[in-house]
Amino acid sequence: MVLPPIVQTPSGSQPSRWKIYARNSALIIAALLIFLFSLDLMIAALEQLGNVATEVILTATSNPFTGLFIGLLVTAIIQSSSATTSLVVALVASGSISLQGAVPIIMGANVGTTITSTLVSLSFITKRKEFRRAVAAGTYHDFFNILTVLILFPLEYYFGFLSELARSLSKIFAQPNGPLVTDFTMLGGLFSPLIHFLKGIINNGFVLGVIAIALLFGSILFFRKIITNIMGFGTPERFQQFFFKNTYKSFGWGLLTTAAIRSSTVTTSLVVPLVAKKVVKLQAAAPFILGANIGTTVTAFLASTFNSNAAISIALAHFLFNFIGVLIFLPIPYIKDLPLKLAIGLGKLTIKYRLVGFSYVLFTFFFIPFALIYLGKNLVGLSEATYIVKEKDGKIMYRNLLIKKYDGNQFSRWTTTEDNKELSEPNVISVYRRQNILIINNELFELNRPGFCRDGEDDNGKFNMCIREIIPTYTFAKGEKQLQVYVFEKQSYEPARVDSTTVRTYVSASDNLIVKKETVNKHGQIIKSEALQKLVKK
């Protein structure tokens, strides 16, 4: 490690190395605390914004293709995947976005962060040969991430490969039966008093969110500058002295330096001029870039520290995306040459047509994402449902349901309102379906055979849920029909209660919709029921 320069004090004496180390350590700790505080503040802002913000975020990200390009576009604009992934971890931890909805954003962020090295390569446009090598070096990172997305995105879309693997691995680091969403606080609530104070004087979730994003982005830049200065990597000449001796040493240095600086943008961008000026060959620099891709995942792990299973899961998904990509494109013969050949080919093409480089940046990072996000807004199907709710005392009210179903996706969002005036804002219910598993607001329904039972535990204690029957065609008001409705019975058995009840839930397998729900006491009397009266698909 290169020691920081000795700075003259006003009296002419030189500060001791211990004082320099103490000063730098204090700055690093301060940057880290600001980073963690900004994430806590972001969650507080989301809580103040409430369901309106949640609905906007989910509408924007519940389609995986849209989420992918939102991650790409946002990261390309702010040029920091660390900031994007940290915000995604915060959103997952707060329950504003599901793990499945977050994974495509993480994938897009990995592609979007490569824009900086590509832009650096364009600065060599006046020097013909250097420009060719610079474009090849700048776009190698692009092609690696784009190819990894092409491999892993379909696996995630159809099978939930990354999200399920990450969720399984997260059980090692968090309680297996812990809640999917918990209160998001760093360092045991260290920042809670300050956040409560800010919420008291700034009673605006949007303003708090802007402050949180500014602090988050600023802390990352501040941390990056401190570490870069300490390590003495201010110039490319210093960089090349001991980083590129062999494949695995190059990979290791890429990982370690990026983990320390917390920015693959800086480390990969420094490689571009080295390759352009023939200080190092692209083949030798490629493992360094792949190592940097792994090192940048440290930020997401820091953001998920002391957090819920879901937050840890998205940090693991970020790591797994990059790690699996490295396993594919680093050791396997022929395959590892694919991103290299694509980058070199693009570099050669820019020699003939200088506008190719600029066109590549505009189309890859801006035009295509904007176009697909715009087209994706039409992938939301709307339905309206009306339920009649009857209480034991004869009270009757109606509940209206606005259903947003995202075409080509397993997600739905139900927004409910009732005819009473007690609800200050609509209740948002999340629905997720994968094969025969249906999750409605964290309640699991397994669409299996009649007689199938499972045990579980909720806020009321332990329960047993069984499939009582499957109704091939269920007819509700005015002769409208739902195909294949599963009837579930849920009975709590521990702790034993005198007033124990059974809940019967009628679930439509075709529309992922509850068509009827009854609460029955131990005498067989229905004490509450809600039944679907009308379903209108728009």
DSSP 76-120: HHHT-HHHHHHHHHHHHHHTSS-HHHHHHHHHHHHHHTTHHHHHH
d(CA 45, CA 30): 22
**Helix axis angle, 128-159 to 115-122, nearest 10°:** 160
Partners of residue 191 on adjacent β-strands: none
**Helix axis angle, 192-201 to 17-49, nearest 10°:** 50
Residue 151 confidence (pLDDT):
93
Tell me, what amino acid is at 333? P
Spatial CA neighbour of 107 closest among 319, 295, 252, 255: 319
Q: How would you list the strands of the sheet with 526-537, edge to edge?
A: 443-446, 437-440, 427-434, 411-418, 396-406, 380-391, 526-537, 513-521, 501-508, 481-494, 461-475, 453-458
Tens place of pLDDT per residue across the chain (538 aa): 444 444 444 544 556 677 776 777 777 677 767 766 776 676 667 566 654 455 555 555 567 777 888 888 777 766 667 777 777 877 777 666 777 778 888 898 888 888 778 877 877 877 778 888 888 888 898 999 999 999 999 888 878 889 888 888 877 765 444 433 334 444 445 667 787 788 778 877 778 877 877 776 676 567 656 655 655 544 555 555 567 777 888 888 888 877 776 667 767 777 888 788 787 888 888 888 888 888 888 777 766 665 556 678 888 888 999 999 999 988 888 888 899 899 989 888 888 887 887 888 888 888 888 777 676 655 566 778 888 888 877 788 888 877 766 554 455 556 555 444 443 344 556 677 777 888 887 688 889 999 999 888 877 788 899 999 999 988 887 778 888 899 999 988 877 766 678 899 999 888 888 899 999 888 778 888 888 888 887 6
Give the dihedral of Cα atoms 232, 236, 237, 238; nearest 10 deg: 20
Task: Answer for the pair 406, 60: CB distance below 8 angstroms, yes or no.
Answer: no
> What tokens were used for 430?
């999340």
- Residue 333's SS3 state is coil
d(CA 119, CA 98): 33
Kindly report the pTM of this predicted structure. 0.63
Residue 376 confidence (pLDDT):
62
> What tokens were used for 395?
């009270």
**Tally of CB atoms within 10 A around 495:** 9
Tell me, what amino acid is at 431? V
> What tokens were used for 479?
């002769």
Quote the distance between the C-alpha of residue 538 and its chain's center.
Answer: 31
Task: Answer for the pair 250, 244: CB distance below 8 angstroms, yes or no.
Answer: yes
Could you tell me the domains of the chain? 21-352 (no CATH), 379-537 (2.40.360)
Task: Answer for the pair 291, 255: CB distance below 8 angstroms, yes or no.
Answer: yes
Residue 180 confidence (pLDDT):
36
